[in-house]
Amino acid sequence: MHDRVAIVGIGCTGYRSISPGQSYKEMIYEAAVRAYADAGVDPRSDVDSFVTVAEDFHEGTSIFDEYTPDQIGGALKSVHTITGDGLHGLATAYMMIRTGQFEVVAVEGHSKSSNIKTLSEITAYAQDPVLNRPLKLNTHFIAGLEMNRYLFETAATREQCAAVVVKNRFNALSNPFAPYGADLSLEDILSGPMLSWPLGTHEAAEHADGAIVMVLASGDKAEALTDRPIWILGAGWNNDSPSLENRDWAHAIYAEEAGRMAYRQAGINNPLEAIDIAEVDDTYAYKELQALEALGFCAEGEAGSLTIEGFTTPGSGLPVNVSGGSLGMGNLLDANGLARALEIVLQLRGEAGSRQVEDVNIGLAQSWRGVPTNSGAVLILSN
């Protein structure tokens, strides 16, 4: 067994709202070339196995794993696909290396959402075909219901959710990868059009295209490859009830359970004390507040007031989504978790440029698989 596993290479195309000049294969190739150069590995001879994350309906192709090997250098090598988020992919590579059978594993995730003509119809196809689909529930409508329940049970407010948007989109201005940076006021968000009450249009992340590849290695191999390995301290993932009828609508139990699993591995008892920076799911603004509470950074109902107070801005108590999050970088579908983890790696390496946070040693990335799922993952990294 290899107890220690590190991220030794990262590659990213950057994110944009549309990408007519590049196919998904070209995007993945670009990210892969960067990641292998960063890690100093040749995919054909040095990478033992490859993990990709994708969902058929996002790609418009059945059995999409057919189309994954060539552009990552994995043809006629050991490659498999996880129909999960990028963090599920990283957790998979982490497990594979820990077995002792693999030294170097690459993970790929991408979004080509601009290719999807009917994205809202596609996401609605994730609902139960018998019980829910006949009701013609729009994805954002379900998110609005969930937000309403969260506000009702925790006494959080629409202003507090809007503060998440203001913070994250402002943060995105310092991230050259992020297409949705903006300097907005609370009033701008609150006066915007309603998407599904109480969820406002500005509180839902726009989609974006992009590809991310990471290279992971066992402890000894990582130290041979790089002098700045980013260690995986813990990985956790969890599925709560997929059913809309019997779930807890106010709390992100999946995030709580995934966090618990990752904290146990990392030996973390007090997350707020141990963790210096966090990148959490904010595909809807209220999800960031829900996640911070579920991950034990604050008590239930406190995340909103902490956000208004500025506790989660860069340089404050717990910088959250310094990258700009999904609100600033765009919703990258199955690659969301990889974008989260990428920011943590950049920050822990001290390569985050003008948005670099001082003195960061341990970071957390968290993701959610989107409406109507109740599933997500957590990764804890250190330098």
Partner 1 sequence: MGMRKVAVVGAGMTKFVRRALETPKELSWEATHMALQSCEMTMDDIDGVCFGTAPDAFDGIHLNGEYASDGAGAWRKPFMRSYVGGGTGVFVPIQGWYHVASGLFDVVLVVAEEKMSSYYPHAQAAFLTIFDHTTERPLKPNLLWIFAMEMNRYMTTYDLSKADIAQVSVLHKRNAADHPCALLGDANITLDDVLNSETLAWPVQRYDVSPVSDGAVALVLAAEHVAKRITDKPVWIEGVGWQLDTSYWTNRDLAYPRYVEYAARMAYDMAGITEPRKQINIAEPYDPFDYKALHHLEGLQLADRGKACELYSDGTASRTGNMPVCPSGGLLGVGNPIAAAGLMKIAELFWQLRGEAGARQVPGSPRRGLAQAWGDLMQVGTVVIMGR
Question: By the criterion CB under 8 A, which residues form the site for partner 1?
Answer: 1, 3, 55-57, 60-63, 65-70, 74-84, 88, 91-92, 94-96, 98-101, 122-123, 125-126, 128-130, 235-243, 253-254, 257-258, 261, 265, 369-370, 373, 375
Least distance from partner 1 to the Cβ atom of residue 174, Å: 33
Q: Look-up: residue for tokens 């210096």? A: 276
Q: Which is nearer to partner 1, 63 or 359 (CB)?
A: 63
Is-contact 246 365, C-beta < 8 A?
no
Nearer to partner 1, 129 or 315 (CB): 129
Smallest distance from partner 1 to CB 121, Å: 9
Q: Decide whether 199 or 235 has the Cβ nearer to partner 1.
A: 235
* Residue 51 or 364 having the CB closest to partner 1: 51
The three-point CA angle 234-171-340 to 5° equals 25
Smallest gap from residue 236 Cβ to partner 1 (A): 7
- What are the DSSP calls for 295-353, one per residue? TTSS-TT-HHHHHHHTTTSTTSSS-B-TT-HHHHH-B-GGGHHHHHHHHHHHHHHT--G
Judged by beta carbon, residue 237 or residue 311, the one nearer partner 1 is 237
Q: Pick between residue 4 and residue 349 the one whose CB is nearest to partner 1.
A: 4
State in angstroms the smallest separation of the CB of 349 from partner 1.
25
CA distances from 230 to 49, 192, 198, 222, 349 (A): 19, 40, 40, 9, 7
| Cβ 158 to partner 1 shortest distance, Å | 29
Integer Cα distance of 334 and 111 in angstroms: 7
Q: Would you give the DSSP letter of residue 101?
A: S
In whole angstroms, what is the distance from residue 297 CA to residue 23 CA?
Answer: 40
CB of 320 to partner 1, least distance (A): 24
Query: Phi/psi at 111 (nearest 5 deg)?
Result: -135, 130
Give the nearer residue to partner 1 in terms of CB position, either 355 or 369: 369
103 Cβ contact list (under 8 Å, min separation 6): 2, 48, 97, 217, 218, 221
Least distance between partner 1 and beta carbon 166 (Å): 31
Question: Which amino acid appears at position 168 of this protein?
Answer: N
Q: How far apart are CA 129 and CA 119, in angstroms?
A: 17
